[in-house]
Structure 1
């Protein structure tokens, strides 16, 4: 084998692209940044030449110059549950459209973070970190992050809508206000004469679950109704299925079930129909939470409190871009409302 044949092919550089396209080195750099202005025909030419030369920007080198890694860390408790998988997919797509890559970190089952993962996170020097698990505290992330300001999803309990405290580590927040959707659900149930409501809960450690139950209790009290009968669940189909059977075979049964999430509502519906031989909605009405893609399937046709997924993702991306534009700004916030989607499990 010749000496030249044994050498690895030379990696294309930005200068090579610039010479071939007859543009400046700066123009090549701008062509790969969707947020910079460049004539469309020039950008198209540069990207075409880059593809021909098999050129891609050196992210590490660019990060040294710009101080930005174009990486966003995402901390989740679960990657295969229906809501999380749909949200991660939508968020990853939106971030890629903005020129970011994502790093996915999964917590332990108790929602805590392995210290080794925190060290890995610091090594990647992400531009932002979105924590879907409130158990990973801002003080923890402040210890391991450099310049990134974490974003938290905040499910406010009644009376907790205030801004985050100013005396702790800086973090940004997406506030999810559940009152409107829950109130619409309870009003609909009450309008159909429902008296006894069960809450099939999620994981006890989940702030979303705790806030959801507290909001349901407050709305029921405000409307002069009895507090919910709590059937312990964990956001899973199987636990909700078993909890629903216990409600009727051990307890006295209920007129309606409000599940902490849609998958739990599916478990409740199947237990009612197939194990307890009760009709939905004629005998027992069921409401879910989230409005995942499967909620409109004809087998369930679920009435549910909806998070607008696209709106939620846009709000998270806005928080990232706002923070990068003003790194020293006080805590940034976005707010997301909920609403009721009425389908066939109430009526």
Structure 2
């Protein structure tokens, strides 16, 4: 016969205290005497009582759960982010509930379902989000943080790397390495990460006297990087430096240069990525890139959720230049 799981009522009975006192002890809300606290602790240890988080959530109206909403989870950067977010949530006593939008579904389509779970907050990690998903959270009083992106029109908090500064740095590094004919390979043109990285790159090159820099944009994938590199160099064969909006695009670009176009990296074409995905440090790519401060971004995101004041806050953190062989340090 299965052993009955002890309840708050059982703890109260064996401790000789009221159930309300046990409830106050478990929730941490309300005062109880030291004598009552000791009695409850002894019984909890004796019967191995574990508070039911679902029941606690039903009584409070909110669970100690943070929803993590993703799309494009096959991108190698996002599983790393998911693991780190989950670890940090557990450290502060919270649980993670993952929602992944699969095409043609979007993150905005998922948001009404997410909010049915009465989560304590929402972290949105996808690049492709319009304002409606975040706005819905705010309207329902649920704190929301857009992670690694922001929206000029959406409500809610955001935490991101200084992508404009990273783009400017990429231009300087490629120029210092000797590249004089540069190109840009981007992901989705409408998302803030791609837009800011391109903007910083182009602005800095314009300051250095380089205008009309060729660019192609579509998606953050290896396949696009492989395809776009061939397209761009067919139109501009003089290109000797590529800034790619993320490391997935950059890895496709490196393989296209070597295996489809017969170009050497970095001797003929230097390649610069962004994010410092796990693939970036592989010997096959040895990619110079901007490392996003993921752990600091996660700490900031959770802090914003837990102390939500109702006013929107945007945190911008600097990235770190990581030199490897695809664009050697000069």
TM-score by structure 1 length? 0.78
Corresponding residue number in structure 2 for 1:270:
255
Q: Are 2:90 and 1:88 equivalent residues in the alignment?
A: no
* Alpha-carbon contact 1:153-1:174 (below 8 Å) kept: yes
CA, structure 1 residues 175+246, in 2 after alignment: closer, same or farther (shift >3 Å)?
A: closer
* Distance (whole Å) between structure 2 residues aligned to residue 129 and residue 257 of structure 1: 36
TM superposition shift of 1:154: 6.3
Aligned length: 317
* Alpha-carbon contact 2:187-2:194 (below 8 Å) kept: yes
* Alpha-carbon contact 1:257-1:286 (below 8 Å) kept: yes
CA, structure 1 residues 62+234, in 2 after alignment: closer, same or farther (shift >3 Å)?
A: same
* Distance (whole Å) between structure 2 residues aligned to residue 199 and residue 47 of structure 1: 65
* Distance (whole Å) between structure 2 residues aligned to residue 237 and residue 12 of structure 1: 53
* Distance (whole Å) between structure 1 residues aligned to residue 12 and residue 287 of structure 2: 56
SS at match of 1:209: helix
- Per-residue deviation, residues 128-181 of structure 1 (Å, max 9, x unmatched): 11223465444444446632022124647xxx9xxx67xxx7512224322332
SS at match of 2:273: strand
Aligned ranges for residues 10-49 of structure 1 at < 5 Å? 10-14=4-8, 16=10, 25=22, 29=26
* Alpha-carbon contact 2:11-2:43 (below 8 Å) kept: no
Which of 219, 225, 244 is the matching residue for 2:204? 219
Which of 120, 123, 139 is the matching residue for 1:127? 120
CA, structure 1 residues 228+184, in 2 after alignment: closer, same or farther (shift >3 Å)?
A: same
TM superposition shift of 1:13: 2.0
TM superposition shift of 1:226: 2.9
SS at match of 1:268: helix
* Alpha-carbon contact 1:125-1:146 (below 8 Å) kept: no
Q: Are 2:146 and 1:152 equivalent residues in the alignment?
A: yes
Corresponding residue number in structure 2 for 1:335:
316
* Alpha-carbon contact 2:215-2:232 (below 8 Å) kept: no
Corresponding residue number in structure 1 for 2:246:
261
* Alpha-carbon contact 1:262-1:288 (below 8 Å) kept: yes
CA, structure 1 residues 298+228, in 2 after alignment: closer, same or farther (shift >3 Å)?
A: same
* Distance (whole Å) between structure 2 residues aligned to residue 282 and residue 317 of structure 1: 44
* Distance (whole Å) between structure 2 residues aligned to residue 271 and residue 223 of structure 1: 28
TM superposition shift of 1:15: 5.5
Corresponding residue number in structure 2 for 1:180:
165
TM-score by structure 2 length? 0.82
Which of 166, 170, 195 is the matching residue for 1:210? 195
* Alpha-carbon contact 1:108-1:114 (below 8 Å) kept: no
Please list every run of 5 or more consecutive structure 2 residues that lacks an aligned counterpart in the other structure.
30-36
Corresponding residue number in structure 1 for 2:325:
344
Corresponding residue number in structure 1 for 2:215:
230
CA, structure 1 residues 201+110, in 2 after alignment: closer, same or farther (shift >3 Å)?
A: farther
* Distance (whole Å) between structure 2 residues aligned to residue 237 and residue 340 of structure 1: 22
When the two chains are superposed, the root-mean-square deviation of aligned CA atoms in Å is 3.4
SS at match of 2:283: coil
* Alpha-carbon contact 2:76-2:277 (below 8 Å) kept: yes
Which of 92, 99, 104 is the matching residue for 1:105? 99
Higher mean alpha-carbon deviation, 188-197 vs 170-179, is at: 170-179
TM superposition shift of 1:258: 0.8
Q: Are 2:306 and 1:321 equivalent residues in the alignment?
A: yes
* Alpha-carbon contact 2:134-2:156 (below 8 Å) kept: no
* Alpha-carbon contact 1:77-1:111 (below 8 Å) kept: no
CA, structure 1 residues 240+143, in 2 after alignment: closer, same or farther (shift >3 Å)?
A: closer
TM superposition shift of 1:233: 4.2
